[in-house]
Structure 1
Amino acid sequence: MKNKYFDLQVNGYAGVDFNQNDLSLDDLTQVCVKLKQDGVAGILATIITADFSDMIKRVTNIARFSKQSEIIAEMVKGIHLEGPFINGADGFRGAHPQEFILRPTVERMAQLLDACDGLLKLVTLAPEKDEDNLVTKYLYQQGIVISAGHCDPTFEQLKEAVTEGLSMFTHLGNGCPQLLHRHDNIIQRALSLKDRLWLCFIADGHHVPFHALKNYIDLVGVDRVIITTDAMAAAGAKQGLYTLSNITLEVGEDRIVRETGKSNFAGSAIDMKSSAENLAKQLDLTAEQIHQVTYANAVSVFK
């Protein structure tokens, strides 16, 4: 299994965007076939912030398709909701549309959980927006993994959320402004809780430069690191224009994914095999270490 990967943040792949209301059974089936061919053993299909009713439709479709196709059931190990309960401030929200970002409530979360029909495995939210950690507590009681991301909690807010069940940080080093306080910033706060959090990183060299990624992994240790792709439809496909939900994205020759006319990243076009190759060539990780951060750690969380 050491050439296999588990990716807990996949928005789309091979030209197919999971964040569309008209996603078809055939499209998702073909994506799963391609993922398996590319060495992936399982994914969490990731649905990002959108109109709440659209998010309900999208997770409902994925849950329904998983019951209709053996390959989808095999490959889609669950659903990752990245939003809508994130920080709406520019820089922290990234490409998530501000107009659809919502205040976390147990009632809204319960609607999404019900629509996922047993497939919801991971929720990325902003702890500072979760009043009294009510949604975090609710999800923890339901056995759902809670991750901080696109957020800016104080150290005390983050620590309290961890006490209430939050156990992960989504694509650390991203989902935050380029300019931060040099000491008291969200990256430092998360790193200070490295013994209590799974820390996820994107290993494409763009989201986090390789020298910085090496520093993070050296500090945290491979026992607490999970490599994800945050892949969108261009992963496993050629450069060009793509969609992510209602956002138009452009993938250039450099394989960087950006909103058309903007500079911020909007997902990635990398796959897990290329991520693993980067870890070997750029960071000098051993095969055993690469297996741990691209497969074993994630499987231990979502088994």
Structure 2
Amino acid sequence: MSYVDLQVNGYAGVDFNGNELSTSQVQHACRAMRDHQVDRCLATVITDSMDAMCGRISRIADAIDADADIAKTIAGIHVEGPFLSPLDGYAGAHPKSEIRAAKIEDAQRLLDAGRGHVRLVTLAPEQDPTGETTRWLHQHGLIVAAGHTNASLSELDVAIDAGLSMFTHLGNACPSQVPRHDNIVQRVLSRSSRLAISFIADGFHIPMMALGNYLQCVPEENIVIVSDAISAAGLGPGTYALAGQNVHVDDDGAAWAECRTHFAGCATSVQTMTEKLRQDLGIDEARIKAWTQTNPARLLDEARS
């Protein structure tokens, strides 16, 4: 089986958010992903200064344009930030100092840096309260996802009406303690007929028991499994880079920020995630194929049209 992964920050020792990223490094990461059955992916750039983000997006675009094999594997760029919630827990591994309200002119800078390769933008709807930037991105053919957010139901609805079509890694990028009923997980699940929802199925970001419950609440055609892989993916325990941060991967494969208060990306391959879905939740091959290949590929194709 081949996979389509909409969220890859890096792979096999290569950090897509590195300031010295080279085409040869991207070639190495793509070969490693293909060895692990990832047929296509979106290279993910996370929050930093606008200059740093634009530079990183441009370097990935350069690599895609320079090499046909890279272009076959990296279907585009996922920009995660900087229009996210700055609140504790919701910001996650994104530096709060660089988080900002959504503006079309900033979105334009990010897209210009990608020269047509930016395909997905994750933002917090409360940072775009009128939906203006969301609508603009949608009108320019991008997938717009909510994530790193504590958006209210009304804020989610405004964003959906403006073109929001996805939610990024539900169950993560929120505090460990939230109101037991009215929280971002419950709000998004209540809109799961209108949103594709991605999940990190490594067993760390969401316990498999809870993931199983979430999956039962979402229409089959709206479930997407993502790796959120960082440079540690495919390597093993150790300390690895993510956008200037150090991430420590434990012996069990969990990837922690230096402060040990939250995860920072993932070191687990989609291959391993599918094994967990089979063994821990009894998910059949048809659903695994839909969640890891058919559904994410459809989103990419719809964004092109």
Please say whether Structure 1 and Structure 2 have the same fold, judged by a TM-score greater than 0.5.
yes
| Equivalent-residue separation in structure 2 for 1:182 and 1:154 (angstroms) | 15
Aligned to 2:153: 155
Alignment-derived partner of residue 278 in structure 2 = 280
Q: CA deviation at 1:102?
A: 1.5
Aligned equivalents of 2:259, 2:139: Cα separation in 1: 42
Over aligned residue pairs, what C-alpha RMSD do you find? 0.8
Equivalent residue number for residue 126 of structure 1: 124
Q: 2:194 aligns with which of 196, 220, 231?
A: 196
Match in the other structure for 1:102:
100
Paired position in structure 2 for 1:140: 138
The corresponding residue for 2:66 is 68
- 1:175-207 Cα offsets, whole Å, 9 max, x none, are 100111111100011000010000110000111
* 1:170-249 mapped onto 2 (5 Å cutoff): 170-249=168-247
Code of the aligned partner of 1:266: A
Task: Name which of structure 1's ranges 27-36 and 256-265 shifts more when overlaid on structure 2.
Answer: 256-265
Give the letter aligned to residue 56 of structure 1. Answer: C
Deviations 1:131-166 (A, max 9, x none): 311110100110101000000111011011101100
The partner residue of 2:257 within 232, 255, 259 is: 259
The partner residue of 2:248 within 233, 247, 250 is 250
Aligned length: 301
Q: TM-score, normalised by structure 1?
A: 0.98
| Runs (4+) off by over 6 Å | none
Displacement of 1:279 in angstroms is 0.9
Give the Cα separation in 1 of the matches to 2:185 and 2:56.
31
Counterpart CA distance in 2 for 1:207 and 1:234 is 16
Secondary structure at the aligned position of 1:77 is classed as strand
CA offsets, 1:200-228, max 9 Å, x none?
10000111111111111112132210000
| 2:199 counterpart letter in structure 1 | F
Match of 2:112 among 108, 111, 114: 114
State the match for 1:293 in structure 2: 291
In 2, the alpha carbon distance for the partners of 1:98 and 1:224 equals: 30
Partners of 1:259 and 1:81 in 2: CA distance: 20
| Length-normalised TM-score, structure 2 | 0.97
- Separation of aligned partners in 2, 1:195 and 1:188: 13
Offset at residue 260 of structure 1 (A): 1.5
Percentage of matched positions with identical amino acids: 41
**Hey, what does 1:15 align to over in structure 2?**
13
